[in-house]
Structure 1
Amino acid sequence: MTVAPVASSTAPGIAATTDLTKVHGSGDTEVVALDRVSITFREGEFTAIMGPSGCGKSTLMHCAAGLDAPTSGSVRIGTTELSTLGDRSLTQLRRDRIGFIFQAFNLLPTLTALENITLPLSIAGRRPDQEWLDRVVAMVGLTGRLGHRPAQLSGGQQQRVAVARALASQPEIIFGDEPTGNLDSRAGAEVLGFLRDSVRELGRTVVMVTHDPVAAGYADRVVFLADGRLVDEMTRPTPDRVLDLMKTLDPRAA
């Protein structure tokens, strides 16, 4: 089955890419990871990125978040074009305006949960907004665990800390790369619920890479990549609808 390409959105967004291309290697070893991808991530929306293994999902997220530089094309956070920033300014933008959640939690073992949550703010020399911090901590259910170190927490609790850390600085957009990949189904559902609630209750914008149709069902919108190109989009997704579409892109999904 051939899937029609998705037209790029003209609506204003928190982040956007235009003709984003990423090429690895050269000559006989050249691999096109992204091929002219144009997409807008809209304010107050939870977007999931899906596609077959090797389709460019994580590369798209890394470029959109300023973690990797594209070969060509444009990446924008708000009105800021990332290609115009030097290393120091780019680091500051990622610290102040973007939140990150990764599969491996990335917590410092010597710090308490609270210290891990507020670490990016501490590095930036900023004091947390206590009312906002209390709200985030309550939302992810960590009120009684703030003095615990990562080794004293379950995997699900550690990822709750990572979610709270991503939200603590009130970023414009939060990127998650397989944020439930290391969790069992119950803990994963809790974390996905927190991400959904951060959009609906806190007004955040979330972009999540996932291979799991159940995880994608928590999103407002799912965009699908294949061979480095944006090929389809789904609003109000359900796990069954997502799986059916994935089967057209990757027979292994069956």
Structure 2
Amino acid sequence: MPAISEPVPPDRQPEPGPQPGPLPPAARAEQLTKAYGEGDTRVVALDAVDVEIGRGRFTAIMGPSGSGKSTLMHCLAGLDTVSSGRIWIGDTEITALNEKQLTRLRRDNVGFVFQAFNLLPTLTAEENITLPGDIAGRRTDGDWLKRVIETLGIGDRLRHRPSELSGGQQQRVAVARALASRPQIIFADEPTGNLDSRSGAEVLGFLRGSVDELGQTVVMVTHDPVAASYADTVLFLADGRIVEQLVAPTADAVLERMGRLDDRASGTTENHRPGGR
């Protein structure tokens, strides 16, 4: 008969080990301001924005035309300079980097997906996917790339050139290219803008899958409430400021909030500015 162990008195219970804290943000900004022009022609695109992008989360950015949503994404990604304020990707303050350092950080830590697929027509899908790493002289992790390709369902299209792929397939290749280097964060600017509704839903599903199955962080600018409903959190901009956020969004809830913001915007004279979408 097995021995029965004596219960351990409460005062002799082992001390619990350290509990894991919340993950640090994938990107954040403090007092981020972006202005165009000088004097009477000065237009403020972003007005002292504070924001944190959760790691391993899917964040959508929305707002009326001219609200600053694309400007915010471009600044967070290091694609545009700021007038004042500070931005970090991971632990690195990108607003303190010179151009060479910033280029290296974008190459190694940031992925991009744009409305235009930006694939080279003379290369196969696989060659387009691995091109950034090839240019950088960096070997792609074969196991990781296999997971990405399986997640995106493009294994049977790797030898095809872009002209032999549908729009949805081309965008999936572009997503795979963004994922291939296992970046800290992926920025997607209207990634379904050139796609029909079915192809767009597929690509959004794959971006969602890259977060859920591959642990990626995705930030997406969109005007589409259905696209935003794939995100964990939606940030709403108006007049260069974050005015609201919605967690676990539905398309109807996003549409209702966008309606309020559009009504608010229609009550003011809209200023058109570079990068102010």
**Shorter-normalised TM-score: what interval?**
over 0.9
Contact 2:26 2:89 in 1 (8 A): yes
Aligned-partner Cα distance in 2 for 1:252–1:22: 22
Aligned-partner Cα distance in 2 for 1:110–1:32: 42
Asked if 1:247 corresponds to 2:271, the answer is no
| Structure 2 counterpart of 1:166, from 171, 174, 178 | 178
Deviation at 1:117, TM superposition (A): 0.4
| Structure 1 counterpart of 2:139, from 109, 127, 132 | 127
Q: Which residue of 2 aligns with 1:145?
A: 157
Aligned-partner Cα distance in 1 for 2:23–2:159: 43
| Structure 1 counterpart of 2:44, from 32, 50, 55 | 32
Contact 1:12 1:40 in 2 (8 A): no
Deviation at 1:12, TM superposition (A): 2.7
Deviation at 1:42, TM superposition (A): 1.0
Contact 1:113 1:147 in 2 (8 A): yes
Q: Secondary structure at the match of 1:195?
A: helix
Q: Secondary structure at the match of 2:227?
A: helix
Q: What do the CA deviations read for 1:49-92 (whole angstroms, capped 9, x no partner)?
A: 00001100000000000000110001101111112211111001
Q: Which residue of 2 aligns with 1:104?
A: 116
Q: Which residue of 1 aligns with 2:15?
A: none
Q: Which residue of 2 aligns with 1:59?
A: 71
Q: Secondary structure at the match of 1:36?
A: strand
Aligned-partner Cα distance in 2 for 1:93–1:232: 30
Deviation at 1:11, TM superposition (A): 7.3
AA of the residue aligned to 1:206: V
How many residue pairs get matched?
Answer: 245
Q: Secondary structure at the match of 2:24?
A: coil
Q: Please give the TM-score of this superposition, normalised by the length of structure 2.
A: 0.86
Contact 2:32 2:86 in 1 (8 A): yes
Following TM superposition, the consecutive aligned residue runs of length 4 or more in structure 1 with deviations greater than 4 angstroms are: none
AA of the residue aligned to 2:55: E
Deviation at 1:251, TM superposition (A): 2.9
Deviation at 1:29, TM superposition (A): 1.7
Q: Which residue of 2 aligns with 1:7?
A: none
Q: What do the CA deviations read for 1:117-166 (whole angstroms, capped 9, x no partner)?
A: 00111111111111111111111111011011111111111000000000
Aligned-partner Cα distance in 2 for 1:106–1:251: 35
Moved more, 225-234 or 118-127: 118-127
Aligned-partner Cα distance in 2 for 1:12–1:32: 29
RMSD between aligned residues: 1.5
Q: Secondary structure at the match of 2:155?
A: coil
Aligned-partner Cα distance in 2 for 1:84–1:30: 25
Q: Please give the TM-score of this superposition, normalised by the length of structure 1.
A: 0.94
**Rg larger in structure:** 2
- Structure 1: gaps spanning 5 or more residues: 1-9
The percent of aligned pairs where both chains have the same amino acid is: 67
AA of the residue aligned to 1:158: Q
AA of the residue aligned to 1:204: Q
Q: Which residue of 2 aligns with 1:201?
A: 213
